[in-house]
A and B are shown apart, each in its own frame.
Chain A
Amino acid sequence: MRQRVATLAWRVVLAAGLVCGVGLLPWLTRTDPAYTVLKARSAEREPTPEVLAGIRRQLGLDGGPLHSLTGWLGGLLRGDAGQSWISGGDVLPDVLQALGASLLLMGAALLVAVLTAGLICLRTLRLGARRRLGGRRAGGGVSAVLASLPEFLVASVLATVVGVQLGWLPALGWYGPQWTVLPALALGLPAGAVLGRLLDDLLPGAFGEPWALAAAARGLTGRSIARQAVRRCVPALLPNLGLFVVGLTGGAVAVEQVFDIPGLGRTTLQAALAQDLPVLQAGTLALVLLAALATGATRVAARLLTGPALRDGALSSLHRPAPPAGGLLPLLYGLVLLAVAGLGLTRDPLALDTGQRLRAPSLDHPFGTDALGRDLLARVGHGALDTLLLAAAISAAALLVGVLLGLVPRVSAPLVDTVNAVPPVLVALLVTAVAGSGAATPALAVGAVAWTPLAAHTSALLLQERATLHITATKGLGAGRVHLLRYELLPAVLPPVLRHALLRLPGVALALASLGFLGLGAQPPSPEWGLLLAENQPYAERAPWAVLAPAAVLALLGALAVSAAGALRRRSPGRHPGTTGAGKSGAGERRPVARAEREPAGVR
């Protein structure tokens, strides 16, 4: 009980800190709100001192930050979230309306995501239900490619092809159910691919557990075994699902823009840029509340699914059996990527020739040229090093922080929810306020968010792992906490989280590029991959190759990361520690299970 109160208090402190941080944003960033508000109202207006003074008087900014903040909080108690500094309209109805649209979009996207995840796991479920998982090779190339596709690209392709050229569905607006289909697909496909990969990663372990064997022996249908296996694995993903719910509600800016949806993402983006604090505070608060709700819901769901087993420590470890060695896929992906980079490096990525703009691929320009006539192969090749190194470094740091904080869920869970609920642009502004606009700032801004899904994943896996029999046994044999962590918990939790981190690597590269408009990160004419995608997006219809080339290498990177993670998975059981008695007993308890899994076909 005391713990619960403490967690709640920590949650409230974080939310309050966030709202206050937003309230102090202009003073933290040393950017005059009167100025940004003026520019949001009318970009061409000259910011003369008289005009700025007029706006300050109008908004009551003369009293300083605390005055505005306490005024706003006081109004909030009376159910009044203030007036927008830009339009002067009431904030609450506007934010609620945007939230409604965003929630609906998120709901539809979630449906798509769940269906996508289901499709991705279909093969594993089928094989697992028939107990034929033993000899299968790790797949997942398709889902990795799907997971690394940028939302804005999927959105603009869907809008152009399905909406405009085929005319099957409306390409623009938000007026009824048929308008939700394309945006939901654009958001749901990549999200579903990530969730599907994570689930697919856990399922073989569940199918390998003794109960599955027993159930099969008793003659239960494959269908119900598969259902139970999903039920066994889903709790580990629920926290990430909760993060998606909040992330898709507040962070779907690109999709909202392409389809012209009046959602919360665009509202908060505009408010953050213009420092329209009342709107920004209300929007952030709404997202933080939603995050708390989503977390509560996932907790309840997890308890419904595996509650008794968790309480009684009656789970077994979700270790998947080792698939057969081999598979040249990672090598192949790596070689293709290397070849592209190598060929590109011999060419000039900056040489402009406007006479050669938007040329289709040819012998001279194997990947075609972009809107300024630059060779795309050269740009992709030269961008590879920067993009990969930075993204890999951020991912590694995020993995480290995510795992460390994931080990202390009571501290990190509210932190994860709160950080994840903050719109990305606001995170970037807050990070810039603290760290200045140095070279490391974009990496910090992306890293500040990138650890959250990993921490949530770690915590969820840890919760299950702690409830396993072998941990109880190891404890019984007198192992200390450090020993448990070092030899039992971490080896079980790390591999799936590492694979998760690799899966998100392309996303990190894209997030870096999306900060460019704040003057953070790579600037043109740098050939950084995210920037390549962004600058060629307007030409996607006329010169598809210009977006296809960077999207393809990014997808290749995703596939490489996932298949390389498969190789890691193969090595990890062999590395299981066995230096002490307790360690041996833990391993010894698990091994027979693993061996039993390997010969499931012989059981029937």
Chain B
Amino acid sequence: MRSHRRPRLLAPLLLVPLLAGCFASGGDDSASGGKDGDGARLRVGLAFPPAENLSPYGADATLLSRLGVTEGLTALDANGSAAPALAESWRRDGDKTWEFTLRDATFQDGGEVTPAAVAESLRHATDAEPAPAALAGVELDAEAGGDRAVRITTAEPDPVLPLRLSSPSLAILSEGAYGKSDRVDPVGHATGPFELTEVNGATSASLDRFDDYWGGRAQASGIDARFIADGTARTNALRTGELDIAEAVPVAQAASLDKKTRRDTATTRTTSLLLNASAGPFEDAGLRAAARGALDTSVFAEDVYEGYADPAAGVYGPAVTWAEGKRTAPVGRAAAKKAGGATVNLATYDNRPELPEVAQVVKQQLEKAGFTVKLTVREYSRLEGDALAGKFDAFVLARNTLLDTGDPVAVLAGDYTCDGGFNIAQLCDKGVDRAVAEAEKIADTAKRQDAAMAAEARVLGSDAVLPLVHQRVITGVADSVQGMILDPYERTLVGTGTRR
């Protein structure tokens, strides 16, 4: 009897080879190379897995640009103006045409970056469906304009075209990236310092250094990127030494990292309380003013964000470096009325863990001032539709103020004008509309910024938006890593100088 049993017990062992297929591929630490100086691979933990097979036209574009895979014709510099990238220089030629002069660069598949290839790549972007966000409402035509020049013509005058082209979704890819199907494949077809070699679905990706990069060879020999959606899990991976860089450490986890390991940068993201200006209690400007008076914004940055945020100054925070010097006082504020028990439907989403906490503090502060507040918290995609339809009286929103184009006016036009596509505050104010339209026409960077600040003063004057904090992003960086790029626009993370 016993002798019969033994082979039966061993039988499951036959399944062992099958099990190997049930584990995720990647994570092979032996491939990470020698740890001594040049040649070590970087292990990076990213928060957002590829959503669309790394299509450059959606949110994955940011991911590609953060890992140093793709580049556009231009980039954003620290002051938020367009800086040279694949284009060395540019000039405006008439109202609707811009001419970009290309630098000597090669694609990762060996081809040269020619004007024809650039024009073709941009044409694919304009044909994409749905169109990339940076091109929303813009008609654009690109053609080779000589040996090293690309001429881009727009249907309407576009003073911010160089800024627009810095968008990661307008990255330049070689002809090989565009197959017969709709799918665009950036693997091995981009121009950045790192080249994608392998993508394991939404789990991990491997990158190798691109030796012929125009900006010089990168110091790290490659990158092993892992996509870890859970913030605590990402932080844990950094703490156990499985990662060198962990993106977007949640505020609640920051304290578990060493002081040296956590680096924080101001971002262009502002958390604000939006008040519905066309229905409900906050239709009354006096009650909006009362709500503004009720808020004590000092506690948000200090306590809820544990210091990883700056107290709100306006729509644009300290990451928009020029804003502070040009800010003017809000225009046309109404006098505050008594709240008198008005009922307020407050809503926010839990995809960012701090927002429900912010909303609960807001709730208490408003209640102290005499409002009655009902709070709704849902997942973002289950909430946004109702918010845009104006079903809530107040909404706590974290919003990137430089959007896809890097143009400061775009967020004002989208969020606070009558025709704005993202007008959760339901604001429709002639003064604001006029000021925004004024700013949209200006091409000169400095003057455009001045006009944007004048429009901001109008928007703040309406009290439809009450900025609470300007967020800082915490990046976990292991001690051994040097040359990290902490980008306020969250478009780059790893560069040629990053190494461990």
Query: What chain B residues lie within 8 Å of A357 (beta carbons)?
Result: 303
B window 375-390: CB within 8 A of A: 375-385, 388
Query: What chain A residues lie within 8 Å of B22 (beta carbons)?
Result: 100-101, 103-104
Question: Nearest chain-B residue to A38 (Cβ)?
Answer: B130
**B230 within 8 A of partner (CB):** yes
**B360 within 8 A of partner (CB):** yes
Query: What chain A residues lie within 8 Å of B232 (beta carbons)?
Result: 156, 159, 258, 538
**A386 within 8 A of partner (CB):** no
B window 106-142: CB within 8 A of A: 129-131, 133, 136
- Asked whether B229 lies within 8 Å of A257 as measured between CB atoms, the reply is yes
**Best-surrounded residue of A87, A170, A175, A373 (most CB of chain B within 10 A):** A87
- Asked whether B26 lies within 8 Å of A175 as measured between CB atoms, the reply is yes
Query: What chain B residues lie within 8 Å of A41 (beta carbons)?
Result: 51-52, 58-59
Query: What chain A residues lie within 8 Å of B228 (beta carbons)?
Result: 172, 260
A window 222-272: CB within 8 A of B: 257-262
A window 528-545: CB within 8 A of B: 535, 538-539, 541-542
Query: What chain A residues lie within 8 Å of B381 (beta carbons)?
Result: 35-36, 39-40, 43, 273-274
Size bin of chain B's contact surface:
35 or more
**A588 within 8 A of partner (CB):** no
Question: Nearest chain-B residue to A57 (Cβ)?
Answer: B129
Of B32-40, B348-356, B459-467, the one with at least 4 CB within 8 A of chain A: B348-356
Query: What chain B residues lie within 8 Å of A55 (beta carbons)?
Result: 130
**A313 within 8 A of partner (CB):** no
Q: A44-B59, A173-B24, A259-B233 are in contact. Are A539 and B252 (CB under 8 A)?
A: yes
- Asked whether B379 lies within 8 Å of A517 as measured between CB atoms, the reply is yes
Query: What chain A residues lie within 8 Å of B280 (beta carbons)?
Result: none
**Best-surrounded residue of A42, A164, A524, A541 (most CB of chain B within 10 A):** A42
Per-position binary interface string of chain B over residues 41-64, scored 1 when its CB falls under 8 Å from any chain A CB and 0 otherwise: 000000000111101001100000
Distance between B453 CB and nearest chain A CB, rounded to angstroms: 23
Distance between A82 CB and nearest chain B CB, rounded to angstroms: 15
> Which listed residue (A57, A175, A519, A538) contacts B24, Cβ 8 A?
A175
Q: A43-B351, A173-B27 are in contact. Are A167 and B240 (CB under 8 A)?
A: yes
> Which listed residue (B256, B360, B363, B378) contacts A542, Cβ 8 A?
B256
> Which listed residue (B58, B240, B377) contacts A524, Cβ 8 A?
B377
Distance between A548 CB and nearest chain B CB, rounded to angstroms: 16
Question: Nearest chain-A residue to B348 (Cβ)?
Answer: A524
**A476 within 8 A of partner (CB):** no
**B215 within 8 A of partner (CB):** no
- Asked whether A43 lies within 8 Å of B59 as measured between CB atoms, the reply is yes
Query: What chain A residues lie within 8 Å of B19 (beta carbons)?
Result: 104, 177
Distance between B206 CB and nearest chain A CB, rounded to angstroms: 14
Query: What chain B residues lie within 8 Å of A259 (beta carbons)?
Result: 233
Per-position binary interface string of chain A over residues 40-60, scored 1 when its CB falls under 8 Å from any chain B CB and 0 otherwise: 111111111011101101100
**Best-surrounded residue of B303, B351, B353, B384 (most CB of chain A within 10 A):** B303
Q: A58-B129, A163-B236, A538-B253 are in contact. Are A355 and B230 (CB under 8 A)?
A: no
Q: A88-B183, A352-B360, A524-B375 are in contact. Are A159 and B233 (CB under 8 A)?
A: yes
- Asked whether B360 lies within 8 Å of A176 as measured between CB atoms, the reply is no
- Asked whether B133 lies within 8 Å of A87 as measured between CB atoms, the reply is no
A553, B192: Cα distance in complex, Å:
55
A window 347-368: CB within 8 A of B: 350-352, 354-355, 357
Query: What chain A residues lie within 8 Å of B256 (beta carbons)?
Result: 541-542
Query: What chain A residues lie within 8 Å of B229 (beta carbons)?
Result: 257, 260
Per-position binary interface string of chain B over residues 345-370, scored 1 when its CB falls under 8 Å from any chain A CB and 0 otherwise: 00000110100110111011000000
- Asked whether A172 lies within 8 Å of B375 as measured between CB atoms, the reply is no
Distance between A493 CB and nearest chain B CB, rounded to angstroms: 35
A383, B237: Cα distance in complex, Å:
35
- Asked whether B364 lies within 8 Å of A523 as measured between CB atoms, the reply is no
**A444 within 8 A of partner (CB):** no
Query: What chain B residues lie within 8 Å of A274 (beta carbons)?
Result: 381
Question: Nearest chain-A residue to B386 (Cβ)?
Answer: A519
Distance between A469 CB and nearest chain B CB, rounded to angstroms: 31
A578, B154: Cα distance in complex, Å:
93
**A71 within 8 A of partner (CB):** no
Query: What chain B residues lie within 8 Å of A542 (beta carbons)?
Result: 252, 255-256
> Which listed residue (A31, A46, A350, A517) contacts B133, Cβ 8 A?
A46
A51, B129: Cα distance in complex, Å:
8
> Which listed residue (B51, B242, B383, B388) contacts A519, Cβ 8 A?
B383
- Asked whether A44 lies within 8 Å of B400 as measured between CB atoms, the reply is yes
- Asked whether B130 lies within 8 Å of A51 as measured between CB atoms, the reply is yes
B window 1-49: CB within 8 A of A: 19, 21-24, 26-28
- Asked whether B378 lies within 8 Å of A262 as measured between CB atoms, the reply is no
A98, B232: Cα distance in complex, Å:
22
**B203 within 8 A of partner (CB):** yes
**A601 within 8 A of partner (CB):** no
Per-position binary interface string of chain B over residues 218-257, scored 1 when its CB falls under 8 Å from any chain A CB and 0 otherwise: 0000000010111111001101101000000010110110
**B422 within 8 A of partner (CB):** yes
Question: Nearest chain-A residue to B130 (Cβ)?
Answer: A54
**B105 within 8 A of partner (CB):** no
A40, B28: Cα distance in complex, Å:
30
Query: What chain A residues lie within 8 Å of B304 (beta carbons)?
Result: 354, 372
Per-position binary interface string of chain B over residues 178-202, scored 1 when its CB falls under 8 Å from any chain A CB and 0 otherwise: 0000110000000000000000011
**B414 within 8 A of partner (CB):** yes
- Asked whether B59 lies within 8 Å of A516 as measured between CB atoms, the reply is no
Q: A51-B131, A170-B242, A274-B381 are in contact. Are A352 and B51 (CB under 8 A)?
A: no
Distance between B282 CB and nearest chain A CB, rounded to angstroms: 21
Query: What chain B residues lie within 8 Å of A58 (beta carbons)?
Result: 129-130, 182
- Asked whether B233 lies within 8 Å of A352 as measured between CB atoms, the reply is no
**B299 within 8 A of partner (CB):** yes
Query: What chain B residues lie within 8 Å of A89 (beta carbons)?
Result: 53, 201
Q: A257-B230, A258-B232, A538-B250 are in contact. Are A48 and B24 (CB under 8 A)?
A: no
A525, B236: Cα distance in complex, Å:
28
**A86 within 8 A of partner (CB):** yes
Known: A58-B182, A167-B240. 5 other contacts (CB 8 A): A87-B50, A88-B53, A94-B201, A159-B236, A352-B361
Q: List 30 A-B contacts (CB under 8 A).
A: A35-B381, A38-B130, A39-B381, A40-B381, A43-B351, A43-B380, A43-B381, A46-B422, A47-B421, A50-B136, A51-B130, A57-B129, A87-B51, A88-B53, A89-B53, A89-B201, A104-B19, A171-B236, A172-B240, A173-B237, A174-B24, A260-B230, A351-B364, A354-B304, A371-B252, A372-B360, A517-B377, A524-B359, A525-B363, A542-B255
Nearest 9 A/B pairs, CB to CB: A54-B130, A354-B303, A42-B59, A39-B381, A519-B378, A538-B252, A175-B27, A100-B22, A104-B22
